[in-house]
Structure 1
Amino acid sequence: MGFETKTIRIAMNGITGRMGYRQHLLRSILPIRDAGGFTLEDGTRVQVEPILVGRNEAKIRELAEKHKVSEWTTDLDAVINDPTVDVVFDASMTSLRAATLKKAMLAGKHIFTEKPTAETLEEAIELARIGKEAGVTAGVVHDKLYLPGLVKLRRLVDEGFFGRILSIRGEFGYWVFEGDIQAAQRPSWNYRKEDGGGMTTDMFCHWNYVLEGIIGKVKSVNATTATHIPTRWDEAGKEYKATADDASYGIFELETPGGDDVIGQINSSWAVRVYRDELVEFQVDGTHGSAVAGLNKCVAQQRAHTPKPVWNPDLPVTESFRDQWQEVPANADLDNGFKLQWEEFLRDVVAGREHRFGLLSAARGVQLAELGLRSSEERRTLDIPEITL
Structure 2
Amino acid sequence: MPPVSGTPPVDPFAPARLGPLRLRNRLIKCATFEGMTPEALVTDDLIEFHREHAAGGVAISTVAYCAISPEGRTDRHQIWLREAAVPGLRRLTGAIHDEGALAAAQLGHAGAVANSTSNGAKALGPGAIPAPMGMSLTHKIGLDEIPALRTRFADAARLAVDSGFDAIEVHCGHNYLLSSFLSPLLNHRRDAYGGSLVNRARLAREVLESVREAVGSGVAVWAKLNMYDGVGRPGPGRGPKPWRGFNVDEACEVARLFEADGHLDAIEPTAGSSLLNPMYLFHGAAPRASFARAFHGPMRAGLKIGGPFFLKAYPYRDAYLLPLARELRAATALPVILLGGVTDRASMDLALAEGFDFVAMGRALLREPDLPRRIAADPATASKCVHCNECMPTIYSHTRCPIRTGELPDPVA
Rg bigger for which structure? 1
**Fold shared, TM-score > 0.5 on shorter chain:** no
TM score, norm. by length of structure 2: 0.26
Instruction: Between the two structures, name the one with larger relative contact order (CA 8 Å, sep ≥ 6).
Output: 1
TM score, norm. by length of structure 1: 0.27
- Structure richer in strand, relative to its length: 1
